[in-house]
Structures are given as structure tokens and as C-alpha cells.
Amino acid sequence: MSDISSAPRETATPAIATRVDGAIGWLVIDNPARRNAVTLDMWRAIPDALAALAATPGVRVIAVRGSGEATFVAGADISEFETVRRDATSARAYEACNAAAFDALRDCPLPTVAMIRGFCLGGGLGIAAACDIRIADESARFGIPAARLGVGYPPTAFADVVRLVGPARAKLLFFTARRIDAQEARQLGLVDQVVAPQELDTETAHMLEAIASGAPLTLRAAKAGIDALTATLDPQALAHCQSLADACFDSADFKEGRTAFLEKRTPVFHGR
């Protein structure tokens, strides 16, 4: 296998790049100038990029990583929230693209592995959680800062986190909005393996090669079966949760949260 940090790209969409390295397909979140923050156009590009990789003859596993050597994904690009996620109506459209990206990862017929270094926050954690397996180095930092921004997440956006860590620990992450290191993420169940920074490329390569060497039909059947056993989303409950998330985006608190973030100050929330 060629070096995973320097292999040439084969295709690219708006800041989403893909490449194929033998039996391994790579999806690269490619926005290093903004710590690989995901824009609306990038969310939209992820499903097609994944579908193209999954349809490539010979590809048996898909790895997801951030561009460069500093960070995985620092979250959604908050600088564009004033236009693309300004209220409940626009947030619904935004969340549909967001959910489609998570669905594409979760429903991908091939095994998916997130390779994580540096920041893995908000939407970045959502991307990692939607993958089948997560391997991180000791530099990785995880968190869900929604409560500091006034953002409302629909339940489909955090369903994968709940499945991984359980409801109580998911509430701890959401309620406190604190960042945790890779070892604590491993203890909580967010991460499956933690390695030294200098070992991440090698250990990820070993994992990908081990998966790629397995029987493809067996892997597909196992993934579908395990996912079917953990699917427990009730439509009525989802609709109620969606209405609560919508209210967040029509609130003064959301405007305060995104403004405070851009002004690099502590937000002052009033619950309205």
C-alpha cells in the first residue's frame, strides 16, 4: 500500500476529494485553511463521492480522513450560518444535506473507517460516528459544541453518537459541550483504537488491509445485520424532536451563539 498521507488524488468535488489505492477508497475532507470545516457544498458532495467510491470495481473498504496532518474535521463551517442556517426554515434545508451525508456513510454497503487526528468536533464527530470503525491518534480532541452556539440538532444528527456511547454519556457530551481527549473518547466508546501520532498512518493501513482481505459478501452481510439490530428510530418521536430543533434556529440565542463565535467572545444566552 502506498503512503496514505501523500497518495495522489483521483477526483475532487468542492473541497471533497477521493482517491483509490488498490482495494481501499479514500474520502478526504479537504478544507485545511479552515481546519477542514465542512461547508454546505461539501455536505452536498459527500453522498455522491461515497457512491462513486463504493461503485468502483475492486474497492472493498472506504477510509475517511481530513486533509493534511493537523486535524480531522473541526465541524461545520459556522462562518456561513448567517446565510445557510439562519432560521428554522433554512436550517431544515441545511440539516437535510447534513443528514444525507451521515446517511451515506452509515448506509454505505462497504465498511467505512474514520482516521482521526486533531480536532473532531460537531459535524466532524458526526462524520466519524457514522463510520463503522474509528481509529485516532493521541492528538485527537472530540466534542459537540452545539450548546455554546444555540444550534438545535435533529435526532438523526446524533443518533450514531447515542448508539456508540449510550444515552447518559451522549447527554454528558451534549450538555457540557466540553472537549475530551482520545483516551477518554476510547473509554466512552467513541473511538475503537488509539495509537501514537507517528503510528496512525501505519496502523490505519494495517486495519484497512485486514478488512479489504475479507470476503466482500460476508462483510456486507455482517454490516447490514449489525446495523439492523441497532436501528430503533420511532417516527413520532423523531417528529417531536425535529420541532424542538427547529425552535432553536428561530431563537435569539442562536443568533447570539453564532455572533459570539465569530466575534471570539463568550455567548450570553437567555433561553428565547
Model confidence over 206-265: pLDDT tens digits? 999 999 988 888 888 888 888 877 766 556 655 655 676 677 767 787 777 778 878 888
Q: pLDDT at position 234, please? A: 59
Q: What is the SS3 assignment for the chain?
A: CCCCCCCCCCEEECCEEEEEECCEEEEEECCHHHCCCECHHHHHHHHHHHHHHHCCCCCCEEEEEECCCCCCECCECHHHHHHHCCCHHHHHHHHHHHHHHHHHHHHCCCCEEEEECCEEECHHHHHHHHCCEEEEECCCEEECHHHHCCCCCCHHHHHHHHHHHCHHHHHHHHHHCCCEEHHHHHHHCCCCEEECHHHHHHHHHHHHHHHHCCCHHHHHHHHHHHHHHCCCCCHHHHHHHHHHHHHHHCCHHHHHHHHHHHHCCCCCCCCC
pLDDT for 162: 92
Average pLDDT, the chain: 86
Domains observed in the chain: 1-196+229-272 (3.90.226.10)
Average pLDDT over residues 15-34: 95
